[in-house]
Each structure stands twice: as C-alpha cells, then as structure tokens.
C-alpha cells in the first residue's frame, strides 16, 4: 500500500504529526509513506527512515509574492505526484485539502467539517473522520491515521515513543558544558502574545545556575536574544541554525524552556526534558505532558477555536515556578 500524508507546516504542527510514522511501521512495515510539505520544513523530514519520499511544494512562496502564476504552477506540479492508494490530509485547511485532492489517488481522506478550523476543507475529501477540534492535537493525528489505515494501535502507546527527529548536521560542541546542565532557551514564537518576557528569561538565567543557549530564527528573535544577553552576559547566543542544527543541539541538551513554538516541541520529539510556557494558546491541546515534558499554563481562559492574540497572560508565569519545575527535571 502506498500513501501520501499532507502536512505542509508549521514546525511544531509537523512534529506533532510525525510521531505517528513509527507506529504505522510498527504495525505494517509494508506501507510506503510519502510526505508533502512546504520547502522550508523539508529538513525536518528528509532523514526520517520511515518516510519513502519527501515531496516539496512552494505554496507559501507563491502567496508571499502574490503570484497567481506561481500558485497555479505548484498546483499543476502536485497533479504529477503519485499515484497513491490513499492521500491523508492531516492539516485540515482549505489549501491543504485542495492539494490533497489534486494528488492522484484512489481515496482522499481528512477530518469532517465539524473537526477543523476551516470547515470548507472537508468538501475536498471523499472519506471523512470526525474528532473534536479542541482535543489534543497529537491524539487527533493518531485517531485520524488509525481510522484511515485500520491499524490497531492505541494513543497511549505514544508515551513509549522513540525519538523521531534526525540530523546529519553536527552542531559544534565547544560551548556545551561537561560540568553544568545545558539548557536551551526559546524566546521567539509566531506572535508576540505567546512570548515569555525578555526580563523574565534573564532573571531565570541569573537564578538557575546552568550553561544556557538561546536559539533564534528571525532578525526579530535575534534581537530578543541580544536583549536577554545584555541582562545576563554569561549566556550563549547560537548562530542561526538550520533545522538539522536545531535538532542536533536540542538532542545534546539537558532541558528546553520556551514558548509554544516548534523548537520547544523538539524537546518532546527527542525525549529531552522540556518546559513549554502557555498563555494565549491551550497547553492541554498543543503538547503532550510526560514525566520529562511539562507545561506551565497561565490562568487565562483559552478558547482553542478562537485564539486571542491580545492575551499576554504568559507574562504572568513566575520565574520561581519555572525554576522549581526545572530543578525537578534536572536533578
């Protein structure tokens, strides 16, 4: 059986979907899996041994350039993928459902209209699955694939997962300490309300003795890193890392602390201890709590159907609460 999974973006969302691969192969190694993804995230997938081919599209680039020609060109290229026995849209957006339907296949499957943020997406599937949108995203992915492939795995199995991110990019270990715990800080996020304050990060590094690395992706995030370092000079700001470089660094660290964003979720994917800070987004939905992967949620009332980007309650999480949890995970 040959299948294609459509999960185009973003970093954290792809991570939460990728975990399913090892369980598909656990129960049926004969299934051949291709993955369709936006070009900027291909590094996340390309070294995964459970994926046959990573097929890249550039819908985001066409949108940024406001080019209908580029958009049409990408859609025509998608029509040449496959053919497949089954295409599964794990994204549930209109753009992903159109792409899924254009890929030659016997069957196109996705969530029904009550289970996605963009209900119109469901009209492009010829088989649909119902599972509440406000449920945990990892559980939603598991149940969708279980339904699609009729495999007997149980969601509880994910707690015994193997690390599933791979890197051929060996990050420099010169800054890693053999005497102190190595902690990765992730101050950036997709929108401002998700970000923990610069001053609080600096206070954390001054009160919890460790060897710190700040990672960043955009110029704006680099500025955040520099502001933290100005307040706490002994920490390290990493150079701009590729996705594989990020994977390598996180895999060698003792703890990741950051906002609800992709690099923080890498800790969970690699079985590295992590603390994810939630304010305007729902922690119960956007990650999995384990013995080594914890969350701290603000007291804000979060509606997963309508995220309030003016909810800055993550700023109310106390540094002392993070330190207490970090000590429990590190020692």
Number of compact structural domains in the chain:
2
56-81 pLDDT tens trace = 999 888 888 888 889 899 999 999 99
Which pLDDT value is given to residue 175? 75
| 218 and 286 together in one domain | yes
Please say whether the beta carbons of 275 and 329 come within 8 A.
yes
Specify the pLDDT at position 116.
96
Residue 76 covered by a domain: yes
| Same-domain status, 140 and 252 | no
Structural domain for 262, as ranges:
182-330
Which CATH number covers residue 290? Answer: 3.40.50.2000
Tell me the helix, strand and coil percentages in the chain, rounded to 5: 45, 15, 40
What residues pair up with 51 in beta bridges, in sequence order? Answer: none
Per-residue pLDDT reduced to its tens digit, 1-42: 999 999 999 999 999 999 999 999 999 999 999 999 999 999
What are the tens digits of pLDDT across the range 109-141? Answer: 999 999 999 999 999 999 999 999 999 999 999
| Whole-number pLDDT of residue 174 | 63
Question: Is residue 169 included in any domain, yes or no?
Answer: no
Task: Let me know whether 121 and 255 are in one domain.
Answer: no
The mean predicted confidence, pLDDT, of the chain is 95
What is the reported pLDDT for 56?
A: 97
Q: What pLDDT score was predicted for residue 228?
A: 97
Query: How is residue 206 written in tokens?
Result: 């001054």
- Residue 171's pLDDT is what? 64
Percent of the chain predicted with pLDDT > 90? 92
Same domain for 98 and 138, yes or no, is: yes
Identify the residue whose tokens are 């700023």.
315
Choose the final residue of a domain: 103, 125, 160: 160
Q: Is residue 225 scored above 90 in pLDDT?
A: yes
Task: List the beta bridge partners of residue 2.
Answer: 32
Residue 194 scores a pLDDT above 80: yes
Same domain? For 213 and 287 the reply is yes
Do 280 and 188 belong together in one domain? yes
Q: What is the pTM of this model?
A: 0.95
Q: Region 178-192: what's the mean pLDDT?
A: 96
């Amino acid at each position: 059986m040959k299948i294609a999974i459509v999960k185009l973006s973003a970093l954290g969302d792809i991570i939460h979907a990728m975990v399913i691969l090892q369980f598909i192969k656990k129960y049926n190694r004969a299934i051949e899996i291709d993955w369709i993804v936006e070009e900027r995230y291909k590094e996340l997938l390309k070294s995964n041994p459970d994926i046959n081919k990573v097929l890249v599209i550039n819908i985001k680039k066409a949108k940024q350039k406001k080019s209908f020609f580029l958009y049409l060109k990408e859609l025509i290229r998608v029509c040449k993928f496959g053919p497949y026995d089954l295409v599964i849209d794990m994204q549930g957006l209109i753009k992903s459902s159109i792409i899924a339907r254009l890929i030659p296949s016997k069957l196109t499957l996705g969530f029904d209209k009550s289970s996605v943020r963009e209900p119109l997406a469901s009209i492009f599937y010829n088989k649909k699955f119902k599972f509440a949108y406000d449920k945990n995203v990892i559980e939603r992915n598991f149940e969708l694939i279980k339904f699609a492939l009729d495999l007997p795995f149980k969601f509880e199995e994910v707690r015994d997962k193997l690390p599933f991110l791979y890197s051929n990019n060996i990050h420099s270990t010169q800054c890693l300490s053999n005497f102190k715990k190595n902690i990765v800080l992730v101050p950036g996020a997709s929108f401002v309300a998700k970000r923990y304050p610069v001053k609080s990060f600096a206070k954390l590094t001054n009160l919890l003795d460790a060897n710190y690395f700040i990672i960043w992706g955009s110029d704006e995030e680099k500025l955040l890193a520099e502001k933290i370092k100005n307040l706490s000079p002994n920490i390290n700001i990493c150079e701009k890392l590729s996705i594989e470089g990020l994977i390598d660094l996180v895999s060698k660290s003792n703890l990741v602390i950051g906002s609800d964003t992709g690099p923080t979720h890498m800790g969970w994917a690699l079985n590295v201890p992590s603390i994810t800070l939630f304010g305007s987004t729902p922690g119960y939905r956007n990650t999995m709590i384990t013995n080594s992967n914890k969350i701290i949620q603000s007291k804000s009332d979060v509606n997963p159907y309508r995220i309030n980007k003016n909810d800055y309650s993550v700023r109310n999480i106390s540094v002392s609460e993070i330190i207490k949890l970090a000590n429990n995970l590190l020692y």
